Amino acid sequence: MTYPSVYLHKGKEESIARFHPWVFSGAIARKDDGIDEGDCVSVYSYDGRLLGNGHYQVGSIAVRLLTFDDTALDAAFFTSRLTEAWRLREAAGLVRDDNTAFRLVHGEGDFLPGLVVDVYGSTAVVQAHSPGMHFAREIVAEALVALNGAGIENVFYKSETTLPFKAHLDPVNRYLVGGFTTDVAVENGLQFHVDWLKGQKTGFFVDQRDNRALVEKYARGRNVLNMFCYTGGFSVYAMRGGAEQVHSVDSSTKAVRLTRQNVELNFGETERHQAFDEDAFKFLDTIEPEAYDLIILDPPAFAKHKKALRNALVGYRRLNAKAFEKIAKGGILFTFSCSQAVNREQFRLAVFSAAAQARRRVRILHQLTQPVDHPINIYHPEGEYLKGLVLYVE
Ligand code: SAH
Protein backbone atom coordinates (compact mmCIF):
# COMPACT_ATOMS: atom_id res chain seq x y z
CA MET A 1 0.00 0.00 0.00
CA THR A 2 1.23 3.50 -0.74
CA TYR A 3 0.38 6.87 0.82
CA PRO A 4 0.83 10.50 -0.31
CA SER A 5 4.34 10.89 -1.71
CA VAL A 6 7.55 12.45 -0.46
CA TYR A 7 10.46 12.61 -2.94
CA LEU A 8 14.07 12.92 -1.80
CA HIS A 9 17.02 14.74 -3.35
CA LYS A 10 19.51 12.64 -5.28
CA GLY A 11 21.83 10.76 -2.89
CA LYS A 12 19.55 11.15 0.11
CA GLU A 13 18.26 7.60 -0.35
CA GLU A 14 21.62 6.21 0.76
CA SER A 15 21.08 6.22 4.53
CA ILE A 16 17.66 4.67 3.99
CA ALA A 17 19.21 1.92 1.88
CA ARG A 18 21.20 1.19 5.07
CA PHE A 19 17.90 1.05 6.99
CA HIS A 20 18.32 4.26 8.94
CA PRO A 21 14.71 5.19 9.79
CA TRP A 22 14.88 9.00 9.70
CA VAL A 23 14.39 11.38 6.79
CA PHE A 24 15.60 14.89 7.60
CA SER A 25 13.64 17.84 6.24
CA GLY A 26 16.64 18.98 4.17
CA ALA A 27 16.61 15.67 2.27
CA ILE A 28 13.16 16.30 0.82
CA ALA A 29 13.01 17.63 -2.76
CA ARG A 30 9.21 17.82 -3.06
CA LYS A 31 6.06 16.32 -1.64
CA ASP A 32 2.37 16.02 -2.46
CA ASP A 33 0.17 18.95 -1.48
CA GLY A 34 -1.82 18.64 1.70
CA ILE A 35 0.52 16.35 3.65
CA ASP A 36 0.00 17.26 7.29
CA GLU A 37 1.48 16.53 10.77
CA GLY A 38 1.25 12.86 11.59
CA ASP A 39 0.12 11.69 8.13
CA CYS A 40 1.27 8.36 6.74
CA VAL A 41 3.51 8.96 3.73
CA SER A 42 5.43 6.93 1.16
CA VAL A 43 9.02 8.01 0.60
CA TYR A 44 10.63 7.79 -2.87
CA SER A 45 14.15 8.29 -4.18
CA TYR A 46 14.77 11.07 -6.72
CA ASP A 47 14.24 8.52 -9.51
CA GLY A 48 10.93 7.24 -8.17
CA ARG A 49 11.92 4.07 -6.30
CA LEU A 50 9.73 3.39 -3.25
CA LEU A 51 11.95 3.43 -0.14
CA GLY A 52 9.35 2.84 2.56
CA ASN A 53 6.32 4.08 4.48
CA GLY A 54 6.38 6.23 7.58
CA HIS A 55 4.95 9.09 9.63
CA TYR A 56 5.38 12.67 8.48
CA GLN A 57 6.00 15.52 10.89
CA VAL A 58 6.98 19.19 10.75
CA GLY A 59 10.51 19.53 12.11
CA SER A 60 14.07 18.51 11.52
CA ILE A 61 13.21 14.81 11.39
CA ALA A 62 10.48 15.02 8.76
CA VAL A 63 9.67 11.33 8.30
CA ARG A 64 10.14 8.42 10.67
CA LEU A 65 10.12 5.32 8.51
CA LEU A 66 8.25 2.31 9.84
CA THR A 67 8.78 0.03 6.85
CA PHE A 68 11.33 -0.26 4.06
CA ASP A 69 8.75 -1.56 1.61
CA ASP A 70 5.08 -0.95 0.83
CA THR A 71 3.64 -2.67 3.93
CA ALA A 72 0.49 -0.83 5.06
CA LEU A 73 0.66 0.94 8.45
CA ASP A 74 -2.54 -0.67 9.68
CA ALA A 75 -3.70 -2.73 12.66
CA ALA A 76 -2.01 -5.87 11.29
CA PHE A 77 1.29 -4.01 11.04
CA PHE A 78 1.15 -2.87 14.69
CA THR A 79 0.08 -6.32 15.87
CA SER A 80 3.01 -7.87 14.07
CA ARG A 81 5.58 -5.39 15.47
CA LEU A 82 4.19 -5.65 19.01
CA THR A 83 4.21 -9.45 18.82
CA GLU A 84 7.89 -9.38 17.81
CA ALA A 85 8.61 -7.02 20.69
CA TRP A 86 6.83 -9.28 23.14
CA ARG A 87 8.73 -12.34 21.88
CA LEU A 88 12.04 -10.57 22.43
CA ARG A 89 11.15 -9.76 26.06
CA GLU A 90 10.11 -13.38 26.59
CA ALA A 91 13.30 -14.66 24.98
CA ALA A 92 15.31 -12.38 27.26
CA GLY A 93 13.61 -13.87 30.33
CA LEU A 94 11.95 -10.63 31.40
CA VAL A 95 8.37 -11.92 31.48
CA ARG A 96 8.05 -13.72 34.81
CA ASP A 97 5.79 -13.75 37.87
CA ASP A 98 8.59 -12.08 39.81
CA ASN A 99 9.25 -9.54 37.03
CA THR A 100 6.24 -7.70 35.66
CA ALA A 101 7.90 -4.37 34.78
CA PHE A 102 9.73 -3.91 31.50
CA ARG A 103 9.82 -1.82 28.36
CA LEU A 104 7.88 -3.48 25.59
CA VAL A 105 8.54 -0.93 22.86
CA HIS A 106 11.67 1.18 22.68
CA GLY A 107 11.10 3.32 19.57
CA GLU A 108 13.63 2.69 16.82
CA GLY A 109 15.04 -0.23 18.84
CA ASP A 110 11.78 -2.07 18.18
CA PHE A 111 11.33 -0.73 14.66
CA LEU A 112 8.55 1.58 15.88
CA PRO A 113 10.11 5.06 15.84
CA GLY A 114 8.11 7.55 17.89
CA LEU A 115 6.56 4.96 20.21
CA VAL A 116 7.43 3.91 23.76
CA VAL A 117 5.45 1.34 25.73
CA ASP A 118 6.28 0.32 29.29
CA VAL A 119 4.46 -2.60 30.88
CA TYR A 120 3.65 -2.71 34.60
CA GLY A 121 1.76 -5.93 35.24
CA SER A 122 -1.61 -5.72 33.52
CA THR A 123 -1.15 -2.03 32.65
CA ALA A 124 0.70 -0.72 29.61
CA VAL A 125 1.75 2.94 29.56
CA VAL A 126 1.98 4.30 26.01
CA GLN A 127 3.99 7.36 25.07
CA ALA A 128 3.91 8.94 21.62
CA HIS A 129 6.92 11.00 20.59
CA SER A 130 5.61 11.75 17.10
CA PRO A 131 2.26 13.03 15.82
CA GLY A 132 1.96 9.89 13.68
CA MET A 133 2.07 7.68 16.77
CA HIS A 134 -0.41 10.01 18.49
CA PHE A 135 -2.89 9.31 15.69
CA ALA A 136 -2.11 5.59 15.88
CA ARG A 137 -2.71 5.43 19.66
CA GLU A 138 -6.08 3.68 19.49
CA ILE A 139 -4.81 0.98 17.10
CA VAL A 140 -1.77 0.49 19.34
CA ALA A 141 -3.97 0.19 22.43
CA GLU A 142 -6.20 -2.40 20.78
CA ALA A 143 -3.21 -4.39 19.58
CA LEU A 144 -1.69 -4.34 23.08
CA VAL A 145 -4.81 -5.71 24.72
CA ALA A 146 -5.08 -8.39 22.05
CA LEU A 147 -1.45 -9.53 22.41
CA ASN A 148 -1.50 -13.25 22.98
CA GLY A 149 -0.62 -14.30 26.50
CA ALA A 150 0.45 -10.82 27.57
CA GLY A 151 -2.44 -10.20 29.95
CA ILE A 152 -2.56 -6.47 29.28
CA GLU A 153 -5.95 -5.16 30.43
CA ASN A 154 -5.37 -1.44 30.89
CA VAL A 155 -3.70 1.01 28.54
CA PHE A 156 -2.77 4.44 29.84
CA TYR A 157 -1.83 7.06 27.26
CA LYS A 158 0.71 9.59 28.51
CA SER A 159 1.97 12.00 25.87
CA GLU A 160 1.24 15.46 27.28
CA THR A 161 4.95 16.23 27.57
CA THR A 162 6.45 14.10 24.80
CA LEU A 163 4.74 15.42 21.67
CA PRO A 164 6.00 18.54 19.89
CA PHE A 165 3.72 21.24 21.29
CA LYS A 166 3.82 23.16 18.00
CA ALA A 167 1.85 20.32 16.45
CA HIS A 168 -1.19 21.53 18.45
CA LEU A 169 -2.39 18.01 19.17
CA ASP A 170 -3.33 18.79 22.77
CA PRO A 171 -2.99 15.21 23.92
CA VAL A 172 -4.79 14.32 27.13
CA ASN A 173 -3.27 11.78 29.50
CA ARG A 174 -5.95 9.13 30.01
CA TYR A 175 -6.83 5.45 29.92
CA LEU A 176 -7.55 4.34 26.36
CA VAL A 177 -8.61 0.91 27.62
CA GLY A 178 -9.64 -0.19 31.12
CA GLY A 179 -8.74 1.88 34.14
CA PHE A 180 -6.75 1.82 37.35
CA THR A 181 -6.31 -1.60 38.94
CA THR A 182 -3.05 -1.65 40.92
CA ASP A 183 0.04 0.52 40.79
CA VAL A 184 2.38 -2.16 42.16
CA ALA A 185 4.80 -3.73 39.70
CA VAL A 186 7.46 -6.33 40.43
CA GLU A 187 11.07 -6.11 39.35
CA ASN A 188 13.32 -9.07 40.10
CA GLY A 189 11.06 -9.99 43.01
CA LEU A 190 11.02 -6.47 44.49
CA GLN A 191 7.81 -4.47 44.57
CA PHE A 192 7.43 -0.89 43.43
CA HIS A 193 4.59 1.60 43.37
CA VAL A 194 4.62 3.09 39.89
CA ASP A 195 2.97 6.47 39.48
CA TRP A 196 2.17 6.69 35.78
CA LEU A 197 -0.52 9.29 36.45
CA LYS A 198 1.78 11.95 37.89
CA GLY A 199 5.31 10.54 37.88
CA GLN A 200 8.17 11.32 35.51
CA LYS A 201 8.26 9.60 32.11
CA THR A 202 6.04 6.51 32.32
CA GLY A 203 6.37 6.42 36.11
CA PHE A 204 9.43 4.23 36.59
CA PHE A 205 12.90 3.84 35.12
CA VAL A 206 12.98 0.24 33.96
CA ASP A 207 16.26 0.88 32.15
CA GLN A 208 18.30 0.56 35.37
CA ARG A 209 17.05 -2.96 36.23
CA ASP A 210 20.31 -4.82 35.52
CA ASN A 211 22.44 -2.08 37.05
CA ARG A 212 20.35 -2.14 40.21
CA ALA A 213 20.90 -5.89 40.44
CA LEU A 214 24.65 -5.22 40.28
CA VAL A 215 24.37 -2.71 43.15
CA GLU A 216 22.65 -5.45 45.15
CA LYS A 217 25.72 -7.67 44.69
CA TYR A 218 28.10 -5.01 46.04
CA ALA A 219 25.88 -3.69 48.84
CA ARG A 220 26.56 -6.12 51.70
CA GLY A 221 27.70 -4.29 54.82
CA ARG A 222 28.11 -0.98 53.01
CA ASN A 223 26.90 2.53 53.75
CA VAL A 224 25.08 3.41 50.58
CA LEU A 225 24.24 6.84 49.18
CA ASN A 226 21.72 6.77 46.32
CA MET A 227 21.74 10.18 44.65
CA PHE A 228 18.89 11.15 42.30
CA CYS A 229 16.88 8.28 43.73
CA TYR A 230 13.49 9.02 42.06
CA THR A 231 11.38 5.97 43.06
CA GLY A 232 14.20 4.44 45.09
CA GLY A 233 15.07 1.58 42.74
CA PHE A 234 18.75 1.39 43.63
CA SER A 235 17.97 1.87 47.34
CA VAL A 236 15.59 -1.07 47.52
CA TYR A 237 18.09 -3.39 45.78
CA ALA A 238 20.90 -2.21 48.09
CA MET A 239 18.68 -2.97 51.10
CA ARG A 240 18.02 -6.50 49.83
CA GLY A 241 21.75 -6.88 49.20
CA GLY A 242 22.38 -6.41 52.91
CA ALA A 243 23.53 -2.79 53.06
CA GLU A 244 24.22 -1.52 56.56
CA GLN A 245 22.58 1.87 55.87
CA VAL A 246 20.97 3.36 52.78
CA HIS A 247 20.44 7.08 52.26
CA SER A 248 18.39 8.27 49.28
CA VAL A 249 18.46 11.82 47.94
CA ASP A 250 16.27 13.60 45.40
CA SER A 251 15.34 17.24 44.95
CA SER A 252 11.72 16.28 44.29
CA THR A 253 9.55 15.87 47.39
CA LYS A 254 7.28 13.49 45.48
CA ALA A 255 10.24 11.29 44.56
CA VAL A 256 11.41 11.14 48.16
CA ARG A 257 7.91 10.16 49.26
CA LEU A 258 7.75 7.41 46.63
CA THR A 259 11.15 6.11 47.70
CA ARG A 260 10.01 5.89 51.32
CA GLN A 261 6.84 4.09 50.23
CA ASN A 262 8.79 1.61 48.14
CA VAL A 263 11.25 0.81 50.91
CA GLU A 264 8.34 0.26 53.26
CA LEU A 265 6.50 -1.88 50.73
CA ASN A 266 9.44 -4.31 50.66
CA PHE A 267 10.94 -4.08 54.13
CA GLY A 268 8.29 -2.48 56.37
CA GLU A 269 9.33 0.25 58.77
CA THR A 270 13.11 0.19 58.98
CA GLU A 271 15.84 2.33 60.41
CA ARG A 272 18.26 1.10 57.77
CA HIS A 273 16.85 3.63 55.30
CA GLN A 274 16.51 7.40 55.28
CA ALA A 275 15.45 9.69 52.42
CA PHE A 276 16.37 13.35 51.98
CA ASP A 277 14.61 15.95 49.92
CA GLU A 278 17.65 17.97 48.79
CA ASP A 279 19.76 19.14 45.90
CA ALA A 280 22.40 16.53 45.09
CA PHE A 281 25.29 18.98 44.74
CA LYS A 282 24.48 20.66 48.06
CA PHE A 283 24.04 17.32 49.81
CA LEU A 284 27.46 16.11 48.64
CA ASP A 285 29.01 19.34 49.91
CA THR A 286 27.64 18.87 53.41
CA ILE A 287 28.40 15.19 54.09
CA GLU A 288 31.36 14.03 56.16
CA PRO A 289 34.21 12.51 54.15
CA GLU A 290 34.26 8.70 54.34
CA ALA A 291 30.58 8.57 55.40
CA TYR A 292 29.67 6.37 52.44
CA ASP A 293 31.47 3.51 50.76
CA LEU A 294 28.96 2.88 47.96
CA ILE A 295 27.65 5.88 46.06
CA ILE A 296 25.24 5.86 43.11
CA LEU A 297 25.01 8.88 40.83
CA ASP A 298 22.15 8.60 38.37
CA PRO A 299 21.34 12.19 37.41
CA PRO A 300 18.76 13.28 34.82
CA ALA A 301 20.10 13.90 31.30
CA PHE A 302 22.39 16.93 31.61
CA ALA A 303 22.38 17.38 27.81
CA LYS A 304 19.01 17.08 26.12
CA HIS A 305 20.56 18.06 22.76
CA LYS A 306 23.97 18.52 21.13
CA LYS A 307 24.17 22.27 21.89
CA ALA A 308 24.14 21.58 25.62
CA LEU A 309 27.04 19.12 25.38
CA ARG A 310 29.81 21.34 26.80
CA ASN A 311 27.83 22.36 29.86
CA ALA A 312 26.72 18.80 30.39
CA LEU A 313 30.30 17.52 30.46
CA VAL A 314 31.21 20.20 33.01
CA GLY A 315 28.19 19.09 35.06
CA TYR A 316 29.25 15.42 35.02
CA ARG A 317 32.79 16.36 35.98
CA ARG A 318 31.65 18.54 38.91
CA LEU A 319 29.21 15.97 40.21
CA ASN A 320 31.64 13.08 40.01
CA ALA A 321 34.48 15.13 41.52
CA LYS A 322 32.30 15.79 44.58
CA ALA A 323 31.64 12.07 44.95
CA PHE A 324 35.34 11.19 44.52
CA GLU A 325 36.22 13.76 47.20
CA LYS A 326 33.85 12.22 49.72
CA ILE A 327 33.73 8.48 49.08
CA ALA A 328 35.48 6.26 51.65
CA LYS A 329 38.67 4.35 50.81
CA GLY A 330 37.78 1.06 49.17
CA GLY A 331 34.54 2.65 48.10
CA ILE A 332 32.53 1.76 45.03
CA LEU A 333 31.05 4.42 42.79
CA PHE A 334 28.26 3.65 40.34
CA THR A 335 28.08 6.62 37.99
CA PHE A 336 25.71 7.08 35.04
CA SER A 337 24.81 9.34 32.17
CA CYS A 338 21.53 8.96 30.31
CA SER A 339 22.20 11.89 27.94
CA GLN A 340 22.00 10.60 24.41
CA ALA A 341 24.08 13.57 23.22
CA VAL A 342 27.02 12.50 25.42
CA ASN A 343 28.85 9.50 24.06
CA ARG A 344 30.61 6.77 26.03
CA GLU A 345 34.09 8.24 25.48
CA GLN A 346 33.05 11.75 26.46
CA PHE A 347 31.41 10.51 29.63
CA ARG A 348 34.43 8.43 30.56
CA LEU A 349 36.68 11.42 30.00
CA ALA A 350 34.51 13.60 32.27
CA VAL A 351 34.69 10.97 35.03
CA PHE A 352 38.43 10.54 34.45
CA SER A 353 38.97 14.31 34.87
CA ALA A 354 36.89 14.25 38.06
CA ALA A 355 38.98 11.41 39.50
CA ALA A 356 42.21 13.24 38.68
CA GLN A 357 40.87 16.46 40.19
CA ALA A 358 40.13 14.62 43.45
CA ARG A 359 43.54 12.87 43.24
CA ARG A 360 42.08 9.39 43.90
CA ARG A 361 43.32 6.02 42.66
CA VAL A 362 40.47 4.72 40.56
CA ARG A 363 39.90 1.50 38.65
CA ILE A 364 37.06 0.58 36.32
CA LEU A 365 35.29 -2.60 37.45
CA HIS A 366 32.34 -2.62 35.07
CA GLN A 367 31.17 -0.65 32.06
CA LEU A 368 27.41 -0.56 32.02
CA THR A 369 24.78 0.09 29.42
CA GLN A 370 21.06 -0.17 28.79
CA PRO A 371 19.26 -3.51 29.22
CA VAL A 372 17.81 -5.84 26.59
CA ASP A 373 14.37 -4.27 26.71
CA HIS A 374 15.99 -1.05 25.40
CA PRO A 375 17.55 -2.67 22.33
CA ILE A 376 19.68 -0.69 19.92
CA ASN A 377 18.70 -1.02 16.30
CA ILE A 378 22.05 -1.71 14.62
CA TYR A 379 21.17 0.74 11.83
CA HIS A 380 20.29 3.45 14.35
CA PRO A 381 23.27 3.84 16.70
CA GLU A 382 21.68 7.03 18.12
CA GLY A 383 19.50 4.64 20.14
CA GLU A 384 22.35 4.01 22.57
CA TYR A 385 21.96 6.42 25.47
CA LEU A 386 22.64 4.87 28.88
CA LYS A 387 26.27 4.69 29.99
CA GLY A 388 27.59 3.71 33.37
CA LEU A 389 30.86 2.98 35.13
CA VAL A 390 31.44 1.05 38.32
CA LEU A 391 34.63 2.31 39.91
CA TYR A 392 36.78 1.10 42.77
CA VAL A 393 38.14 4.11 44.61
CA GLU A 394 41.17 3.96 46.90
N1 SAH B 1 17.93 6.60 39.76
C2 SAH B 1 16.53 6.69 39.45
C3 SAH B 1 16.24 7.57 38.25
C4 SAH B 1 16.79 8.97 38.36
S5 SAH B 1 15.91 10.13 37.40
C6 SAH B 1 15.96 5.28 39.26
O7 SAH B 1 16.69 4.30 39.34
O8 SAH B 1 14.77 5.19 39.04
C9 SAH B 1 16.63 11.61 37.92
C10 SAH B 1 16.12 12.14 39.26
O11 SAH B 1 16.95 13.24 39.61
C12 SAH B 1 14.70 12.69 39.27
O13 SAH B 1 13.95 12.01 40.24
C14 SAH B 1 14.84 14.17 39.64
O15 SAH B 1 13.82 14.63 40.53
C16 SAH B 1 16.17 14.18 40.33
N17 SAH B 1 16.92 15.45 40.30
C18 SAH B 1 17.06 16.32 39.28
N19 SAH B 1 17.91 17.31 39.60
C20 SAH B 1 18.33 17.07 40.88
C21 SAH B 1 19.24 17.71 41.75
N22 SAH B 1 19.88 18.81 41.40
N23 SAH B 1 19.44 17.15 42.97
C24 SAH B 1 18.79 16.02 43.34
N25 SAH B 1 17.94 15.37 42.53
C26 SAH B 1 17.71 15.88 41.32
Whether 40 is catalytic is no
**Do 161 and 190 contact (CB within 8 A), yes or no?**
no
Residue 164 has pLDDT above 90, yes or no: no
57 C-alpha vs ligand 1 centroid, how far in Å?
31
pLDDT (tens digit, 9 = 90+) per residue, 167-182? 889 899 999 999 999 9
The verdict on the CB of residue 237 being under 6 Å from ligand 1 is no
Query: Pseudo-torsion of CA 39, 41, 46, 47, nearest 10°?
Result: -150
Q: What is the pLDDT of residues 253-276, one digit of tens each?
A: 999 999 999 999 999 999 999 999
Number of H helices and number of E strands within the chain?
A: 10, 20
Q: Is 233 in the pocket of ligand 1 (CB under 6 A)?
A: yes
pLDDT at 166: 83
Tell how far the Cα of 220 is from the centroid of ligand 1, in angstroms: 24
Q: Is 4 exposed, middle or buried (0-12, 13-18, 19+ CB in 10 A)?
A: middle
Q: Is 375 strand, coil or helix?
A: coil
* Residue 107 reports pLDDT greater than 90: yes
Q: Which residue lies with its CA nearest to atom 16 of ligand 1?
A: 228
Residue 165: pLDDT band with limits 50, 70, 90: confident
Q: What is the residue with the minimal CA distance to atom 7 of ligand 1?
A: 233
pLDDT at 232 over 90: yes
User: What residue type is 305 in one-letter code?
Assistant: H
Instruction: Single out the catalytic residue among 6, 101, 255, 338.
Output: 338
> Is the CB of residue 234 below 6 angstroms from any atom belonging to ligand 1?
yes
Supply the pLDDT for residue 170: 87
Query: Which of the listed residues 211, 230, 258 should we mutate to test ligand 1's pocket, taking the one with most ligand atoms within 8 A of CB?
Result: 230
Is the CB of residue 280 below 6 angstroms from any atom belonging to ligand 1?
yes
Burial class of residue 201 in the structure, from the number of CB atoms within 10 Å of its CB (0-12 exposed, 13-18 middle, 19+ buried): middle
Domains, the chain, in order of start with CATH, read: 5-67 (2.30.130.10), 75-182 (3.30.750.80), 203-393 (3.40.50.150)
Which DSSP letter does residue 288 get?
P
In short, whether 205's Cβ falls inside 6 Å of ligand 1 is: yes
Ligand 1 close to Cβ of residue 250 (< 6 A): yes
pLDDT tens for 26-35 read 999 999 999 9
Q: How many residues does the chain have?
A: 394
Helix (H, G, I), strand (E, B) or coil at 172: coil
**Distance, CA of 235 to CA of 248 (rounded, Å):** 7
Which residue out of 209, 224, 251, 279 has the highest number of ligand 1 atoms within 8 Å of its CB and is therefore the one to mutate?
A: 251
**Which residue has a Cα nearest atom 8 of ligand 1?**
205
